[in-house]
Amino acid sequence: MKSTSFSLVEALKKITSGQDLAFEETYEVAMALSAGTVDPVLAGGLLSALATKGETSLELGGFIKVMRERMLAVPIDLAVLNGARKTLQPAHEKLQFSKGTAPVLVDTCGTGGDGKGTFNVSTLTALVLAGAGVCVAKHGNRSVTSQCGSADLFEALGVNINLSAKQAQTVLEKTGLVFLFARQFHPSMKYIAPVRKILNIRTVFNVLGPLLNPMPVTHQLIGVASESLMTPLAQALVYTPLKGALLVYGLDGLDEITLSEKTRVIEYRSYDATDNGAGRDGITGNSTKPSWNEYILDPRDYGLDFVDSKLLLGGVLAENKDIALQLLRVGSTLKTASPALRAKCNVVALNAAMLMKLAGIVSTVEDGINLATDVIFSGQADKVYRQLVQVTDEVITTA
């Protein structure tokens, strides 16, 4: 990236006048902020001004490039990992890995910050996906506006979250699921953390989180807390190595695929899946041209009724931990479970199903819902959770 004489003060003036920064200008701003060389007052002004104006895809791209350059990347051989995963914990018989699906590593990290107080949908979705035999690198952090973020929940459940890159590789290879605590892999964030804490508002760094997984994730379900962010975030995905992603915004305001309303979806693929040569999951297409497809998802189209949004609520950390354990261990009581627990199981199954369909692991969303429900019912997701606790304890103890 060529340097210019563009100054941070000029950047602030430009943003506060309502003008957008060019990619190169944003890159310079992001480089300075992530290096810890910016006066805190100026840094706060830049972040708050960007948030007020609204970040464009080019501005997000500039930040993504810098943060991905500065993060501690964790290399993974996806082909080896998928082979080892099937050997260690054979995929459910309904999971069609043997029918040509390319190596897949998924994430369910979203922006957080919808302020709705739901339970940890994306974290439970990750456990269900792993229970189905899908490799998951769950990137996340502590809570933004909720009372319990993914890091908070995993920690409360007894999972060691402070893993090194080597430890994270081991955990993923042994369990099929690893939680990547954002602050462990993004050391440059420490320079801007004090400013973000003082501001106490959503900044570009909250938006960027889902796009900065240190592992080579291929497909991702990205819950978005603000509908206005959907389009710029979708366009900014070209600056990531993702092969496919679903950006979702519940029309009830949830940053998940919801059951209390319809959900706006933007489906992104880094290739044109309609090209000749595209395989069952589209990954083997010849084109490198990205594509976006927007639609409204209605859960009733897949046999799931709308539910009262109150049934999807969580609570403080202890309550969300209890909800997670109830869902993981619902077992044979699923049919007699409370309406709230059934609703939570169904919303997790739908989120998991949509990501499995995107990655080509199942042929239809209905197949994905059936598989995810069976994983919950059979206790397979709980088995993954128990393995995760054991293995993260072992790698920390033997370090």
Residues 16 and 123 in one domain: no
- Comparing 126-140, 173-187, 188-202, 296-310, which segment has the lowest mean pLDDT? 188-202
Residue 127 and residue 13 in one domain: no
69-73, 269-273, 384-388: lowest mean pLDDT where?
269-273
Sign of CA dihedral 138, 141, 145, 149: positive
In eight-state DSSP terms, residue 136 is E
- The CATH number for 206's domain is 3.40.1030.10
| 177-181 and 219-223 strand pairing | unpaired
* Tokens of residue 385, six digits: 């959770």
170 and 41 assigned to the same domain: no
Q: Residue 339: inside a domain, yes or no?
A: yes
pLDDT greater than 80 at residue 334: no
Taking only the tens place, the pLDDT of each residue in 59-114 is 999 999 999 999 999 999 887 777 766 666 555 555 544 344 578 999 999 998 88
- My answer on whether 316 and 239 are in the same domain is yes
CA distance 247 to 267: 6
**Mean pLDDT across 140-162:** 88
Asked if residue 70 belongs to a domain, the reply is: no
**What pLDDT score was predicted for residue 113?**
84
pLDDT reported for residue 308: 98
DSSP result, 336-389: GS-HHHHHHHHHHHHHHHHHHHHTTSSSSHHHHHHHHHHHHHHTHHHHHHHHHH
Residue 284 has pLDDT above 50, yes or no: no
What is the reported pLDDT for 206? 87
Burial of residue 196 (CB within 10 Å: 0-12, 13-18, 19+) is middle
Residue 69 covered by a domain:
no
Helices (H), 36-176: 40-53, 57-70, 78-88, 121-131, 150-156, 165-175
For the stretch 216-259, pLDDT in tens is 999 999 999 999 999 999 999 999 999 999 999 999 999 999 99
Phi–psi pair at 264, nearest 5 degrees: -80, 130
pLDDT tier for residue 3 given thresholds of 50, 70 and 90? very low
- pLDDT at residue 283 above 70? no
User: In this model, does residue 4 exceed pLDDT 80?
Assistant: no
Residue 153 has pLDDT above 60, yes or no: yes
Asked whether 341 and 360 are in contact (CB, 8 A), the reply is: no
**Average pLDDT estimate for 136-147:** 81
Residue 1 lies in a domain: no
Least confident window among 86-90, 193-197, 236-240, 390-394? 86-90
**Whether 34 and 171 share a structural domain:** no
Statement to judge: residues 122 and 157 lie in one domain: yes
d(CA 240, CA 210): 10
Kindly report the average pLDDT of the chain as a whole number.
Answer: 90
CB-CB contact of 309 with 260 (8 Å): yes
296 within some domain: yes
Element (H, E) at 392: helix 380-397
pLDDT at residue 280, rounded to an integer:
32
pLDDT at 371 over 70: yes
If you average pLDDT over residues 134-145, what whole number do you get?
86
Look at residue 101 in the predicted model and tell me its pLDDT.
Answer: 58
CATH assignment at residue 24: 1.20.970.10
On whether the CB atoms of residues 169 and 74 are closer than 8 A, the answer is yes
Q: How far is CA 370 from CA 9, 105, 367, in A?
A: 55, 21, 5
Q: How far apart are CA 391 and CA 225, in angstroms?
A: 33
Whole-number Å distance between alpha carbons of 171 and 173: 5
Q: Does 276 reside within a domain?
A: yes
24 shares its domain with 168: no
* pLDDT tens column, 30-65: 999 999 999 999 999 999 999 999 999 999 999 999
- The tally of domains found in the chain comes to 2
pLDDT at 81: 79
pLDDT at position 146:
58
Q: Answer yes or no: do 225 and 369 share one domain.
A: yes
Residues linked to residue 140 through DSSP beta bridges, in sequence order: 181
For the range 393-396, what are the long-range contacts, defined as Cβ-Cβ under 8 Å and sequence gap of 24 or more? 393/158, 393/160, 395/160, 395/163, 395/167, 395/170, 395/171, 396/160, 396/162, 396/163, 396/167
226 and 319 within one domain: yes
Can you tell me the mean pLDDT for 350-369? 96
Please tell me whether residues 229 and 373 are part of one structural domain: yes
Q: How confident is the model at residue 202 (pLDDT cuts 50, 70, 90)?
A: confident
Q: Are residues 138 and 41 part of one domain? A: no
Q: Is residue 3, in this structure, part of any structural domain at all?
A: no
Residue 237 located in a structural domain: yes
For residue 285, give the DSSP letter: -
**pLDDT higher than threshold 90 for residue 288:** no
Q: Residue 358: which pLDDT band, with cuts at 50, 70 and 90? A: very high
Domain assignment of residue 31, given as a range: 8-53
For residues 92 and 176, the answer to whether their CB atoms sit within 8 Å is: no
Together in a domain, 136 and 262: yes
Report the interhelical angle of 23-35 vs 8-16 (nearest 10°): 120
Q: Is the pLDDT of residue 390 over 90?
A: yes
Instruction: Say what the pLDDT of residue 103 is.
Output: 84
Tokens representing 101 are 């699906």
Residue 250: the pLDDT is: 98
Q: What is the mean pLDDT of residues 179-198?
A: 94
